[in-house]
Structures are given as C-alpha cells and as structure tokens.
C-alpha cells in the first residue's frame, strides 16, 4: 500500500510551458522523469504548481514527450524499477512510428530535458533505420546530398578499405 506522503506527492501538479507559451499541467511523478524539471521543482517555494519554462521545446514535441512520460511513469516506481513489460515495449515501438523530422525533434528535446530512456529509444530507432543499409540508402533516408565526386568517393573508399572488410561485397569499392 502506498504511503500517504507518496499519495500526496503523486497528486502534486507541475506546469510546463512550451517555447510558444502553451501550458501543460502534469503530475509530479510524470515530470520527475526529467532531471531538469525535477531540479526546478526542488527549488520552487511558491504557491500552487511549480512552473518550468522549456524555451527550446515546441508544444507539439512537448505533448509527445509528456505522452511518453505518462506511459513510463509507473516504470519509475520502486517496486517496478528495472522491469519492462512486453506491452510497454510494444507501446514504445508504436510510439516511435513518426516522421523523421518529428523523431529528431523528440530526440533533441529528450536530450535537452535529460530524459535518458526516451533519448536512448530515439537513438536506437535511428540506428535501426540505418542498420545494414548502403551509404546511398542512408543518404536517401536522411535526404543527404552526396557532394563527393566519383573520384573522391573512390579515393575515400580506398583509404578506408579496412572499414569495409566484413561488409557485403557490393559495398566495397
């Protein structure tokens, strides 16, 4: 059974303000997933909910991050710390189905807010996107223009042949 202090703390609210000034009121246990926000809360001594301005986080991105944090809030409870259910893993996989720009926005905000598990999830998602892809496929995925001439690309490949030794034969120059 949860102690009275834990029950009271879980009902405390925190106000987050996006870069556009939009306000989001969330429970303390959700907000504490960000050490940055937790530090602001710790130093707040005013009346009403603590207020945390997030100048570099747009409202749409903050909304998405808060959705993630709400789903993962129970994961941080002491009796469940370290355990992840198959259901939560499936939810994470669905959550990561977003366009590339949105993914990078969430990644950047998770980094700025120091939400390590979300940052790790976004980085792993990007890594999975490029796993076993050719340089051309990676350029296509990330819309990167190849600014090397054929000669320069050949020379670079030759200088770094050691990096391609264990890869598919069609990758080696």
CATH architecture of 4-130: 2-Layer Sandwich (3.30)
pLDDT value, residue 77: 53
pLDDT value, residue 12: 85
Average pLDDT, the chain: 85
Q: How far is the CA of 126 from the CAs of 36, 100, 138, in angstroms?
A: 24, 9, 11
pLDDT above 50 for 20: yes
Q: What is the pLDDT of residues 43-70, one digit of tens each?
A: 888 788 889 999 999 999 999 999 999 9
DSSP alpha helix (H) spans, 21-115: 28-31, 35-42, 59-72, 86-95, 100-112
% of the chain surpassing 90 pLDDT: 53
Which residue ranges make up each domain of the chain? 4-130, 135-171
Q: What is the pLDDT of residues 27-44, one digit of tens each?
A: 998 999 999 999 988 888
């Amino acid at each position: 059974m949860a102690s009275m202090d834990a029950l009271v703390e879980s009902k405390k609210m925190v106000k987050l303000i996006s870069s556009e000034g939009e306000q989001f009121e969330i429970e303390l246990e959700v907000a504490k997933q960000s050490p940055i926000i937790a530090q602001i809360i710790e130093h707040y001594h005013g009346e009403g909910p603590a207020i945390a301005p997030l100048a570099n986080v747009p409202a749409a991105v903050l909304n998405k991050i808060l959705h993630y944090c709400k789903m993962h809030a129970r994961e941080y409870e002491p009796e469940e710390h370290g355990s992840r259910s198959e259901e939560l893993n499936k939810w994470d996989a669905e959550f990561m189905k977003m366009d590339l720009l949105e993914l990078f926005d969430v990644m950047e905000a998770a980094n700025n807010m120091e939400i390590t598990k979300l940052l790790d999830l976004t980085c792993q998602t990007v890594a999975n996107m490029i796993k076993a892809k050719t340089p051309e496929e990676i350029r296509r995925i990330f819309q990167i223009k190849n600014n090397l001439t054929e000669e320069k690309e050949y020379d670079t490949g030759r200088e770094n042949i050691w990096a391609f030794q264990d890869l598919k034969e069609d990758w080696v120059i």
